[in-house]
Structure 1
Amino acid sequence: MINKNETYHNVSAKSDIESFINLTNGLHDGYIIGVQYEHNGHTCGNPHFIDDTLSDLTIRIMVTSIENAIVEIKFTSIKEWQICCDDYEITDTSVFFENGDDIIWTDDSSFNYYNRKSYSYVIARKMEWRFI
């Protein structure tokens, strides 16, 4: 049973990744239905001040393989991201840690950093998720 509108689950260890993959069925048969990006830059005199640690990206994915559940994934401190196409079916997902501090999410299980422009992906400092 899916617990909707629950609090966010923080992803900070390998066991958290395994739990995310298991509970969301690897986002199998998922469709991106919403993307929201906030840079949270502001002015501090001249020039503008941008603090990447304040950037947020939220992706909502409807997963038809688990009762049309909607999974909301929130990333903070975005380093790089791309949603390459939002009208195709996600058949698998991958989440892993890189360089100790970064977490990478991609819509493909065989992500290759050097071919990353072929995928939807996010590289960030923090990831959390919930069912909504």
Structure 2
Amino acid sequence: MLTQQKYASDLVAMVSLIDDKIVYSPIEINMKYKEADGEPFSDPTLYRWLVGSLVYLTMTRPDILYAVQVLSQFVSNPYHIHHTALLCVIRYVRGSMNQGVLFRSDSPINLKGYIDADWTGCPDSRRSVND
């Protein structure tokens, strides 16, 4: 079993969320984030650092991969709504620290990849976004 439980725990501690709120989904379903939505986030460097930390965590946590991919699109110009969604992913990680990737010794490793495109899925550019 490959996990990054210590890394995830350190990430949650660094963010120091003051509430004990845990979410059961890393991102809101059917939420379309725009490039400019509301107030700009005051610390873009922190946003980039958090996204980068979550990208590293996706090596053993494929369950957060889609949410991190969506939020990484806004590292050049994050807004408060993007930061709030990022904190939602971290709350999800806090509630599921024990998850990881299991490689069983008695089963063959068959790696399969899938991709889906939502045509004109980006609300800003109306271009395709690959998932």
Q: With a CA cutoff of 8 Å and minimum separation of 6, indicate the structure with the bigger relative contact order.
A: 2
Query: Could you tell me the TM-score, scaled by structure 2's length?
Result: 0.26
Q: Which has the larger radius of gyration?
A: 2
TM-score, with structure 1 as normaliser: 0.26
**Structure ranking higher in helix proportion:** 2
- Tell me which protein shows more strand as a share of its residues: 1
